[in-house]
């Protein structure tokens, strides 16, 4: 008999998926199997993003212009990939063909969190297994997560071995 998954864990996985993570990334983030999450999304009637990627050679000049413009405007990479149905390799091939410099970090981290975000981060710390996972959730560095926890007087967990 399969073990029952804590509903809070599944809610966290669904929230991660809705925030833009892939099924695989959201499942890994929440600590559930990707097949389990996919089945749960289907049961909830949440449409999964299916991506059929095009190769750089199949992307016309007008589309390339739009991809480049979106990238240069700071649009999130994941949105560009989904909108134009291209993969990350195709995106970077198109940018390289136009000599567009790459962003420093694909997942640019915020440097500051609002007080509400800090409060939410502290509350999430009880349920999230690592500072790295919290950093992904709140789009900050793991160093920032530790700084907020220290600032709020939250005792650190010991690392699991």
What pTM was computed for the model? 0.37
Confidence of residue 47 (pLDDT cuts 50, 70, 90): confident
Angle at which helices 34-44 and 7-18 cross, to 10°: 80
The average pLDDT across 55-69 equals: 88
SS3 54: strand
Percent of the chain with pLDDT over 70: 88
Percent of the chain with pLDDT over 90: 17
Q: Residue 48: count other Cβ atoms within 10 Å of its Cβ.
A: 12
Query: 5-29 pLDDT, tens per residue?
Result: 888 989 988 988 887 777 887 888 8
**54 pairs with which residues across the strands?**
86
> Sign of the C-alpha dihedral, residues 15, 18, 20, 21?
positive
Query: 80-126 pLDDT, tens per residue?
Result: 888 888 878 888 889 999 999 988 654 444 567 788 888 888 888 88
Q: Which pLDDT score is estimated for 136?
A: 80
SS3 151: helix
Residue reference for tokens 């949105």? 79
Q: Which pLDDT score is estimated for 65?
A: 95
Q: Which pLDDT score is estimated for 138?
A: 80
| Residue 45 predicted with pLDDT over 80 | yes
SS3 81: helix
Separation CA 146–CA 150 (nearest Å) = 6
For the chain, domain boundaries: 7-44, 56-97, 115-151
């Amino acid at each position: 008999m399969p073990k029952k998954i804590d509903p809070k864990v599944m809610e966290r996985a669904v929230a991660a998926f809705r925030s833009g993570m892939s099924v695989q990334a959201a499942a890994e983030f929440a600590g559930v199997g990707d097949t389990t999450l996919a089945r749960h999304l289907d049961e909830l009637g949440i449409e999964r993003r299916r991506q059929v990627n095009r190769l750089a050679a199949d992307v016309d000049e007008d589309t390339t212009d739009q991809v480049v413009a979106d990238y240069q405007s700071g649009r999130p990479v994941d949105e560009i990939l989904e909108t134009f149905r291209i993969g990350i390799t195709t995106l970077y091939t198109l940018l390289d063909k136009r000599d567009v410099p790459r962003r420093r970090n694909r997942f640019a981290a915020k440097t500051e969190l609002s007080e509400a975000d800090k409060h939410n981060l502290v509350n999430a710390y009880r349920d999230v297994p690592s500072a790295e996972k919290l950093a992904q959730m709140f789009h900050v560095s793991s160093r920032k997560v530790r700084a907020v926890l220290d600032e709020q007087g939250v005792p650190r967990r010991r690392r699991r071995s």
